[in-house]
Amino acid sequence: MIDLSVRYLGLTLKNPLLLAACGLGASLDKLVKATNAGIGAVVLKSLFEEQLRAELEVINDELEGHPEAANFLQGMGLSDGAIWYFDLIADAKRNLDVPVIASLNGTSGAWWPDYAKNIEKAGADALEMNLGLIPYSPDETAAQIEQALVDTVASVCRAITIPVAVKLGMSFTNPLNLALRLAKAGAKGLVLFNRFYRMDIDLDTMSLKPGPSRSNPESFHDSLRWLALMEGRAPLDLAASGGVYDGQSAIKLIAAGATAVQLCSAVYSGGFPAITAVLEDMTHWMASRKVTSFKELHGHLSRRNSAHPELYGRLHYIKALVGVE
Ligand SMILES: Cc1cc2nc3c(=O)[nH]c(=O)nc-3n(C[C@H](O)[C@H](O)[C@H](O)COP(=O)(O)O)c2cc1C
C-alpha cells in the first residue's frame, strides 16, 4: 500500500496534489469534481483587489455629491463585493472532505488584513497570498519592493491564526533570501511560482491582446530548480506550481523538495480526470520502484541532501552546453 499522505501548512492531506488557484476553484460543483477525481486539497480562485475596487468605483459614481454616504458605502461595498467569496469558502467547507485554501491577490498593503480576517471567519483552513506584482515605477528599488512584500505578509500573519502560504513570481534576485524573510514574517509555505499573465500583440489591429493563459509541460523546470535549492533551508513548506501535466513531473518536483504539487493548466486541458491520471501515474511509478511513501521521496534530490551541491550551480549548466553547437 502506497502512503501518499503529507502535512502541508500544518494540514493533513491524503496526497500532495492541490487544485491551483484558478477559475476551476470558483464554484462548488467544480470543486466537488476535483475532490471526486482525488485531489488532496483545493485552492479557491483568488479574490482580486482590482475586482472589488471596480465595484467601488461604480458606487462612487452613483453617489457623487454625497461624500458621507459614499464613504459609508465604500466600507460596506468592500465587504459586500466579496460576500460571494466568503459564501464559497463556507460552502466548500461544508461539502468537501479535503482542506480548503482561500486565495487573495492584491496590490495595496492596507487591503489585505481585513480580507484575510473575513476569510478566516468564513472557515478557510489556510490562505494563499498571491504576491505576483509587476513593478511599473522606475523609482522603486528591488529592496523596497521586497520589504513591502515582507511587511504585507507580516500584517496578514498578525491578523489571522490560520496558516499563510505566499505565492511568488520567479523574478527575484535571491528567492532563498526572500523566503527566509517571509518565514520570519510568519508565512508557513511558499508556492513556486505564480504565472504572470502573458502579453501579446495583434498585428492585424496593431493592438495589445492577452497571451496564452495556460502553461506548457516544460514550465515545471523553473520550479524544480528553486525547490531543489530551497528544500530544508527555510522553515517553510514548499509547493510547486507550473507545468505539471503528468505523474512523472509531480514525482520530480517532490524529489526536488515540494511538499505539495499544484495543478491548473493540466486540468483545463484534460478535464478533472487529469487529476486521477496524475495520481495513478505517481502510484505506478512508486510501486515500480518499491517506494512506499511520500516521505521516502520528498527532497531525495534536493541540494541539501546531495553529496555534490556543486551540481546545482553552474556546473550542470556548463555540462549541458558543452558540445552543443
Ligand atoms: C485560467 C487561469 C486562471 C488563473 N487564476 C489564478 C488566480 O485566480 N489566482 C492565482 O493565484 N493564480 C491563478 N492562475 C495561475 C495558476 O494558479 C498557476 O499558478 C499557473 O497556471 C501555473 O500552473 P499550471 O502550469 O498548472 O497552469 C490562473 C491560471 C490560469 C491558466
Q: Which pLDDT belongs to residue 77?
A: 45
Tallying the residues shown for the chain, one arrives at 325
Query: Is any ligand 1 atom within 6 A of the Cβ of residue 241?
Result: yes
Q: Which pLDDT belongs to residue 43?
A: 98
Q: Which pLDDT belongs to residue 314?
A: 67
Query: Is any ligand 1 atom within 6 A of the Cβ of residue 39?
Result: no
Burial status of residue 50 (CB atoms within 10 A of its CB: 0-12, 13-18, 19 or more): exposed
Residue 91: inside a domain: yes
Query: Is any ligand 1 atom within 6 A of the Cβ of residue 191?
Result: no
The Å distance, Cα 68 to ligand 1 centre, comes to: 39
Q: Which of 187, 182, 139 is nearest to 160 (CA)?
A: 187
Taking 70 as the pLDDT cut, the residues of the chain under it are 54-81, 314-320, 323-325
CATH of the domain at 254: 3.20.20.70
Residue 304: inside a domain: yes
Which strand (E) or helix (H) includes residue 26?
none
Query: Is any ligand 1 atom within 6 A of the Cβ of residue 25?
Result: no
Q: What is the C-alpha separation between 289 and 107, in angstroms, rounded?
A: 46
Query: By the 8 A CB rule, do 285 and 248 touch?
Result: yes
Coil vs helix vs strand at 97:
coil
Query: Is any ligand 1 atom within 6 A of the Cβ of residue 106?
Result: no
| Adjacent-strand bridge partners of 17 | 261
Q: Which of 238, 240, 241 is nearest to 215 (CA)?
A: 241
Fill in the amino acid letter for 87. D
Task: Output the nine-digit C-alpha cell for 9.
Answer: 501548512
pLDDT tens-digit series, residues 148-162: 999 999 999 999 999
The string of DSSP letters for 41-93 reads: EEEEEEEEHHHHHHHHHHHHHHTTT-HHHHHHHHHHHHHHTTHHHHHHHHHHH
Q: Which pLDDT belongs to residue 69?
A: 53
Measured from the Cβ of residue 51, the count of other Cβ atoms closer than 10 Å reads 14
C-alpha separations of 276 from 10, 24, 33, 38 in Å:
24, 16, 11, 6
Q: Which pLDDT belongs to residue 293?
A: 93
Q: Please give the tally of structural domains in the chain.
A: 1
Ligand 1: atom nearest CA of 266 is 26
Coil vs helix vs strand at 239:
strand
Residue 17: inside a domain: yes
The Å distance, Cα 191 to ligand 1 centre, comes to: 12
Residue 290: inside a domain: yes
Q: Which pLDDT belongs to residue 55?
A: 63
Q: What is the C-alpha separation between 119 and 128, in angstroms, rounded?
A: 11
Coil vs helix vs strand at 238:
strand
Asked if the peptide bond before residue 193 counts as cis, ω within 30 degrees of 0, the response is yes
Q: What is the C-alpha separation between 202 and 208, in angstroms, rounded?
A: 6
Q: What is the C-alpha separation between 252 and 142, in angstroms, rounded?
A: 31
Backbone angles phi, psi at 98, to 5 degrees: -125, 160
Query: Is any ligand 1 atom within 6 A of the Cβ of residue 35?
Result: no
Query: Is any ligand 1 atom within 6 A of the Cβ of residue 20?
Result: yes
Residue 302: inside a domain: yes
Q: Which pLDDT belongs to residue 76?
A: 44
| Domain hosting residue 43, numbered range | 6-321
Query: Is any ligand 1 atom within 6 A of the Cβ of residue 21?
Result: yes
Residue 189: inside a domain: yes
Query: By the 8 A CB rule, do 33 and 272 touch?
Result: yes
Residue 1: inside a domain: no
Q: What is the C-alpha separation between 128 and 182, in angstroms, rounded?
A: 13
Residue 127: inside a domain: yes
Q: Which pLDDT belongs to residue 133?
A: 77
Instruction: Name the residue of 264, 272, 275 to mutate for ligand 1: max ligand atoms within 8 A of Cβ.
Output: 264
